Structure 1
């Protein structure tokens, strides 16, 4: 399903609660033959003129490289199709954040070895129980972390030190070996159905945590092997930015963030959840059916998506793919949402409304999907007037931006 939630680093389509707006604003732009005159749309106070954000990353180059690294980490369903429940993914911009996915004693190692940035993703063969953030004990679950260091030497030393620190957490931990990846460092606690692993690969360290229903060391090692195979294949397709060039990364070189409707265009800076441009893996990692999400992205010709202050715009290869993406998002929204009438003046828009089975404390009441040429905008709100204005504003902004 498409998670339609109020917040969270791991949501595919993040949403923002903003104050209700009213009134009808005038919209700049020139109508194109065959299209509506967007100046007639009620867009409230949302800015809809063509716009570009400043491209300088400032002190946020590492965040931008971390966002790029979303395509450097495998999804769980690439390891095994049964692991279809995405448990999300996250940029790791510093050691303090990275230790959320490693042993707490690892932070000094990451600092001493000058960790550059990292990315983490996880998935399982069943969803987490309601209200829980961990898989059940009978689940198969994977956590894959890619950590980048300044050079291969630093990465190799970090892998050995991270493994030693992890083993040292318990006197019961024991080393294991992989015949397929003899350089990988593996350990487990006999009788406990999980395994940890580290592998230095170039300037990266791959960290794995695998949980299985039964404490079988041979089985656990086999899962490490297949996960490393998928991860190394994925990493081979990723081109890291040279460390000397990270500070110079452009914030929005394709000007996609500027096509996302926001209440205020001031004060935005790179942020993994609120101001970022991602590729396909980010959307797959948060899906409850990763293979289905991957098929949707392939069928629609999905290329990239931008998130700005809770709204988003996806770009597909050609206009035929936009309604495919809209319909796929609608179909995967889950039973807590029912169809609702979209603003009639906005061509192709489709909307959803939260029903009685939903959780209004976690989910927005309204969500609308707006196709325009080879783009799809996604907006949300708890206010009916605002969602209609926001939907119209997103369409107008796309029209004025192209």
Structure 2
């Protein structure tokens, strides 16, 4: 089938490349000519393991192409996916749908025949209705079906998630042509027995928000349990194992840390809260999750200062990891942003190293110094903080690090290292939700 993907951000580029890898003919459209030129030359706008090879291979095979010309891109398409950004709107936290609606109108005006418009962007309930209204208003002469097909991609594992999904959700109004088109598009995944769940369009839109809000709630729950563990002398990792072995709960997203961030959870929880308020059905649990998570990030800065004896003024703190999670260069709402701000407010100098996120971080944190690796970051530091659990940080030479520092203080915000190993290397240690802390 011929597929057009509007937007070459995280969702659009990964989805387009994966569809092409299935054998579909895919055209990716973006208004940013410099981005298109960079992609065509092999430079990806995001860091995602394996994406450059996937894009390059399918482009070379003639199944994947890129253009800034939307009209040419949608010509003859069986399905046009909208994968543009829906950032949180300033002031009220609602999703900004201006890019989605603009894309819908441009697509409709450019169509040369019947088509299926698929909303891949994360959008609030009812957005598909408005997309359909816009499309039909622009082209009353055409048979246009509008479908919701939310994405469930984890940054750092997006290609695997797309090709081996837990489920594929498709929301329609019952249009048989749209249903058949979506079945054909995802037919290559039938061999993997990926459940293809057809629902109403509004239901599909809500499934995406409900899923992310639930996962954000699990993260926030175990983070609050970690605080309680520290207060009562328990160990949060054992608590997480103990409850995670219950198959009604499960072990995923029960890893205590500095709070969630990234491109999805922060904006999607805010958008869901706003949707509830707009419909006079407030979602109190999610409202609390948002508040607790925001406060936690800043609290991590205070935790670090406490580990340094309560005074960070004039001292140097080395951070390992800046991105909100490993295997991405995404700095959106990363806990490190609030941590750095808190440390700078406390009078500390911050040095940091991240395998992929330093370029993006530099614009957000102009006051910090970027190091070339973990060991140079720790040189002469008064505290070393593990913020993001990159694989490169999982087997560091702790004795070498301790010997190079002005004060061997380790704050492990991801609980990567066993306490006995850290202390044997000469560090004082602070962990998350650990009964046995030095600070």
TM-score tier, shorter chain, comes to under 0.3
Q: Please identify the structure whose Cα radius of gyration is greater.
A: 2
Query: What TM-score results when the alignment is normalised by the length of structure 2?
Result: 0.24
Query: What TM-score results when the alignment is normalised by the length of structure 1?
Result: 0.25
Greater relative CO (CA pairs within 8 A, separation 6+): 1
Comparing both structures, which one devotes a greater share of its residues to helix? 2
